[in-house]
Amino acid sequence: MEYFQKNIPDWKNEELLNELKTFKKIYDSRPIKENTGGMLFPHMFAVYFILKKIKPSFIIESGVYKGQSTWLIENTLPESKILSIDIDLSKRQYFSKKAEYSNLDFKHHDFSNIPSDTLVFFDDHVNHYERIMQAKFFNIKSIIFEDNYTKNSSKADFYTIKNSYQNWGFLHPKSFSKSLGHLKTLLIFTLEIIKKIFLNNYYINTFKIISRLKDYKKNENDFKNIEKNIDVYYEFPPIFEHNKNSTPPIIKNKEIEFKLSKKELLSYNFITYIKLK
Q: Is residue 99 part of a domain?
A: yes
Same domain, 49 and 167: yes
Average pLDDT over residues 235-264: 84
Please report, rounded to a whole number, the percentage of residues in the chain having pLDDT higher than 90: 78
Q: Is residue 93 part of a domain?
A: yes
Q: What is the pTM (predicted TM-score) of this model?
A: 0.93
- How far apart (Å, rounded) are the C-alpha atoms in residues 128 and 134? 10
* CATH code, domain with 232: 3.40.50.150
Same domain, 164 and 201: no
Same domain, 58 and 99: yes
pLDDT in tens, 44-89: 999 999 999 999 999 999 999 999 999 999 999 999 999 999 999 9
Q: Is residue 187 part of a domain?
A: yes
Q: Is residue 5 part of a domain?
A: no
Which residue, of 163, 197, 213, is where some domain finishes? 213
Same domain, 147 and 226: yes
Q: Is residue 7 part of a domain?
A: no
Same domain, 125 and 163: yes
Question: Looking at this protein, which amino acid is placed at residue 126?
Answer: V
pLDDT in tens, 204-244: 988 878 888 899 999 999 999 999 999 999 999 999 987 66
Q: Domains in the chain: how many in total?
A: 2
- Using alpha carbons, select from 24, 34, 121, 36 the residue that is nearest to residue 73: 121
- pLDDT given for residue 2 in this prediction: 66
The dihedral region occupied by 198, where left means phi > 0, alpha psi between -120 and 50, and beta the remainder, is alpha
pLDDT in tens, 189-206: 999 999 999 999 999 988
**Domain of 194, in residue numbers:** 173-213
pLDDT in tens, 100-134: 999 999 999 999 999 999 999 999 999 999 999 99
Same domain, 263 and 165: yes
Average pLDDT over residues 158-163: 95
- How far apart (Å, rounded) are the C-alpha atoms in residues 132 and 118? 14
Q: Does the pLDDT at position 155 exceed 90?
A: no
- pLDDT given for residue 195 in this prediction: 94
DSSP string, 255-275: ----SS-HHHHT-----EEEE
Same domain, 197 and 135: no
